[in-house]
């Protein structure tokens, strides 16, 4: 008589069993990770080298003050100062004189014959003056041949200056000038002004209105 065997079918695991197995693996893995975690107490001082540190993984806050080298110095802050002299003083047939103007902004009427009236105060830190440029609006109708434009500091002529050469005696001369060579350090709290100095003339002075515009650069020291 032939025996009959029952065919066995594999049973699917229940959801509870699946969740239990997953929880078991997670707990075992977590324990293994915790066992392998290394803290600062496990590292001997000065034992790690640059090869042990991942590139770009450290921040500036991870270093003590002074451990990181200083970066390149930033550029100096600069200001462009511009101004205008409405009309230079007429000295007639007298000796050559000077016209003083504010170092920036508009100087009214014919400027000042007294330097005290035109001076202004520099900031409470040293600055460097450079890149002076001057432009007379047109050629002098009188006999002025040259005029010097000089930045004065504490009542003294500085090295920052330029000269125009146009006049009735030299109509082909220049009505513009500039100085991009000299840089003058102005101490904190100095008096400064612009001196428009007649250098040579044969009479008459400027006589009529000759507006003058100028500009220069002031940089923090």
| Domain ranges across the chain | 78-220
Average pLDDT, the chain: 77
pLDDT of residue 97: 59
Tell whether the model's pLDDT for residue 8 goes beyond 90.
no
| Residue 205 pLDDT class (50, 70, 90 cuts) | very low
User: Considering the domain 78-220, what is its CATH architecture?
Assistant: Sandwich (2.60)
Is 50 exceeded by the pLDDT of residue 206?
A: no
d(CA 162, CA 132): 8
- pLDDT greater than 70 at residue 30: no
- pLDDT grade, residue 145 (50/70/90)? low
> pTM of this prediction?
0.61
**Diameter of the chain by CA atoms?**
154
DSSP-derived pairing of the beta strands 78-85 and 105-107: parallel
Query: What SS3 string covers 80-111?
Result: EEEEEECCCCCCCCCCCCEEEECCCEEECCCC
Report the chain's terminal Cα–Cα distance, integer Å: 116
Q: Looking at residue 120, what is its pLDDT?
A: 95
Span 155-167, average pLDDT: 90
> Mean pLDDT, to the nearest integer, of 56-64?
77
Higher pLDDT, 13 or 198: 198
Would you place residue 70 in the very low, low, confident or very high pLDDT band (cuts 50, 70, 90)? confident
The mean pLDDT of 84-107, rounded to a whole number, is 73
């Amino acid at each position: 008589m032939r025996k009959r065997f029952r065919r066995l079918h594999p049973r699917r695991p229940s959801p509870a069993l699946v969740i239990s197995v997953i929880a078991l693996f997670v707990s075992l893995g977590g324990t293994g990770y915790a066992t392998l975690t290394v803290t600062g107490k496990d590292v001997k001082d000065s034992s790690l080298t640059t090869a042990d540190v991942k590139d770009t993984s450290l921040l500036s806050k991870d270093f003590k003050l002074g451990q990181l080298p200083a970066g390149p110095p930033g550029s100096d802050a600069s200001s462009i100062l511009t101004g205008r002299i409405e009309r230079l003083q007429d000295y007639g047939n007298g000796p050559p004189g000077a016209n003083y103007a504010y170092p920036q902004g508009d100087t009214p009427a014919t400027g000042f014959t007294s330097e005290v009236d035109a001076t202004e105060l520099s900031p409470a830190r040293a600055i460097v003056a450079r890149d002076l440029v001057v432009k007379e609006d047109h050629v002098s109708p009188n006999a002025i041949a040259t005029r010097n434009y000089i930045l004065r500091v504490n009542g003294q002529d500085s090295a920052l200056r330029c000269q125009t050469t146009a006049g009735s005696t030299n109509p082909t001369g220049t009505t513009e000038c500039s100085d991009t060579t000299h840089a003058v350090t102005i101490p904190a709290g100095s008096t400064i002004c612009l001196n428009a100095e007649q250098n040579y003339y044969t009479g008459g002075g400027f006589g009529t209105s000759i507006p003058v515009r100028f500009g220069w650069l002031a940089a923090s020291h």
